Chains A and B, each alone.
Chain A
Amino acid sequence: MSRFLLPFAVFLVLLGFLFVGLKLNPREVPSPLIGKPAPAFTLSQLHEPAQTFSPQSMRGRVWLLNVWASWCVACRDEHPLLVDFARSHPVAIVGLNYKDRPEDAQAWLARLGDPYVLSVSDPEGRVGIDFGVYGVPETFLIDSQGIIRHKQIGPVTAEVLQEEILPLIHELEQG
């Protein structure tokens, strides 16, 4: 009896590992930027290229940085949710228009609605690299001290918004 007990225990442990492994998403790479200051940048605005924006100007506010592009299919799925969110919540969303053509980006926003207080253009994706962006869309939650608190890789869903992002925003705004 005992000669089967050990292999069986090993088998159960293995089964446990495999079961957990089934639910892991290898595409979700934990960002080393969480808990660190958002990288500084100065980029020209999508709608008014003569004006620039840098994250320092958002000090004292909790805000979202959403990385998007008109060529990005998943961004289209996410977009109505952001438009809705912008209407119903006072939290500012800044768009980082990643590796896009300004005219395409502007047309996209004109057609689908613009949830952003402003968007900035990152035509070569350099700021994207500083933020560790590898799959558009990505969304960063940045607190009043300019620290990145949360990163959503891939489209923000209603679930993620309700269960992760909104509670965190409330918590940060209380503190």
Chain B
Amino acid sequence: MRVLAAALLAILAALSGAPLADEAVPTAQDPVAAKRSVELSRKLRCLVCQNQSIAESNADLAVDLRRQIDEQIAAGKTDAEIVAFMTDRYGDFVLYQPPFKTTTVLLWAGPALLLLVGLVALRRALRRQAEAPADAPLTERQRALAARLLREQTAPGSKEPR
């Protein structure tokens, strides 16, 4: 049995190994380049399936763009050059992390701004509460009225106070 399994495994390995070896581009065999390629493609958005990165997507375009990245790494381009290649063609939209520019100021500063507005509002609300006059003590009449109401409500068989 074990021999049979081993033989099957060997056949499978031989079958699957051959086409894989065919497809692999030279850069993919270099672990540093492969790591760079994956890191770059994780930062880039696939334009066909917009919520996936180029690394995750299997769309044709993503495959082509991964190939572009591999080729450019092999050609000795820097990461910045490769990212510039992509944004020159597809715009800042391909970047998952948009650059800080005049058009994106609100995008980047927005959350901090909202937090600031919230803090100011909170401070004002707290201050107003602190400045409100402390509860004035009840007068004798009010106290008597409250006691009567409480008695009426808790006494068994009594009518609901109107």
B-binding residues in A (CB < 8 A): 26-27, 29-33, 99, 124-126, 128-132, 134-135
Contacts and interface: CB of A to CB of B under 8 A. Distances in A.
B52 interface: no
A32 B68 contact: no
B89 A33 contact: yes
Contacts of B89: 32-33, 129-132
Contacts of A30: 91, 93
A124 B64 contact: yes
A134 B47 contact: yes
Interface of B: 47-48, 50, 60-61, 64-65, 68, 87-93
Contacts of A27: 50
B129 to A, nearest CB: 14
Given A99-B60, A124-B64, A134-B61, A32 B88 contact: yes
Contacts of B93: 29-30
Nearest to B85: A129
A31 B47 contact: no
A128 B68 CA distance: 12
Interface of A is mostly: loop
Given A26-B50, A134-B48, A129 B65 contact: yes
9 contacts: A30-B91, A30-B93, A31-B90, A32-B90, A125-B64, A132-B91, A134-B47, A134-B61, A135-B48
B41 to A, nearest CB: 14
Nearest to B46: A134
A31 B48 contact: no
Given A128-B64, A130-B89, A132-B90, 18 more contacts: A26-B50, A27-B50, A29-B93, A30-B91, A30-B93, A31-B91, A32-B88, A32-B89, A32-B91, A99-B60, A124-B64, A125-B60, A125-B61, A131-B89, A132-B89, A134-B47, A134-B48, A134-B61
A134 B90 contact: yes
Contacts of A124: 64
A59 B88 CA distance: 23
Contacts of B47: 29, 134-135
Contacts of B64: 124-126, 128-129
- The residue among A30, A31, A131, A134 with the most chain B CB atoms within 10 A of its own CB is A134
Contacts of B61: 125, 134
A153 to B, nearest CB: 10
B44 to A, nearest CB: 12
Given A26-B50, A99-B60, A135-B48, A32 B87 contact: yes
